[in-house]
């Protein structure tokens, strides 16, 4: 069935602790396996002020601190068996996920969204930036850490290069 996204909500972090792999001895922090754009990010148990349920499992390269206000969105996924799953992501993560390629396995990934050239270039730039930084991209001040500001800076530069390359190869219109 289809996934749906809730509206962005601002929440204040009440507590945040590393989330370990169940029954790991010694304790090993769990890592994200999907979506691919966040693969390998550490898992955290996050409790927000005013929430009465269990802490939420979220993934952060650089986790927020207690007292930080962050904007989150809830992804609801209803499986074929009718079971509902909810996942929480920051608004920045939502942008990464919603721009990530869909599908996999056999066959196609479904209908292609109608992105503009600039949106496709930014998506490609973000994915290239993440892969480059994962692989040890080095800037003028040394190795670049995989933080959202660094990803945005590198993605913007790569997307500009992609757009410029596309303009160079465009054939003149008759």
**Cα–Cα–Cα angle for 117, 118, 121, rounded to 5 degrees:** 85
| Distance separating alpha carbons of residues 168 and 151, to the nearest angstrom | 25
Q: Which two tokens stand for residue 43?
A: 């898992």
Helix (H, G, I), strand (E, B) or coil at 127: helix
Phi, psi of 113 (to 5 degrees): -65, 155
Q: What is the pLDDT along the chain (174 residues), one digit of tens a residue?
A: 568 888 999 999 999 999 999 888 888 999 998 888 888 999 999 999 999 989 999 999 899 999 999 999 999 988 888 888 888 999 889 888 877 554 444 444 444 455 566 677 777 777 777 777 776 777 777 777 777 787 777 777 777 777 776 665 555 554
Measured between alpha carbons, how far is 86 from 56 in angstroms, rounded to an integer? 10
Does the pTM exceed 0.85?
no
Structure tokens at 168: 């160079």
d(CA 133, CA 151): 8
Structure-block tokens of residue 153: 């800076």
Q: How would you class 141 by CB atoms within 10 Å of its CB: exposed for 0-12, middle for 13-18, buried for 19 or more?
A: exposed
């Amino acid at each position: 069935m289809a996934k749906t996204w809730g509206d962005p909500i601002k929440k204040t972090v009440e507590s945040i602790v590393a989330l370990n792999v169940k029954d790991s001895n010694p304790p090993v922090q769990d890592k994200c396996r999907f979506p691919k754009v966040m693969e390998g990010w550490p898992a955290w148990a996050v409790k927000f002020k005013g929430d009465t349920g269990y802490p939420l499992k979220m993934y952060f390269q650089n986790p927020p601190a207690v007292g930080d206000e962050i904007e989150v969105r809830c992804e609801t996924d209803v499986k074929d068996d009718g079971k509902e799953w909810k996942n929480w992501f920051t608004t920045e993560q939502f942008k990464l996920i919603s721009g990530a390629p869909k599908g996999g396995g056999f066959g196609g990934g479904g209908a292609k969204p109608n992105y503009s050239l600039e949106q496709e270039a930014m998506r490609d730039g973000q994915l290239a930036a993440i892969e480059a930084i994962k692989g040890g991209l080095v800037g003028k001040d040394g190795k670049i850490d995989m933080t959202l500001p660094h990803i945005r800076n590198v993605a913007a530069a790569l997307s500009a290069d992609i757009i410029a390359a596309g303009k160079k190869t465009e054939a003149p219109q008759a």
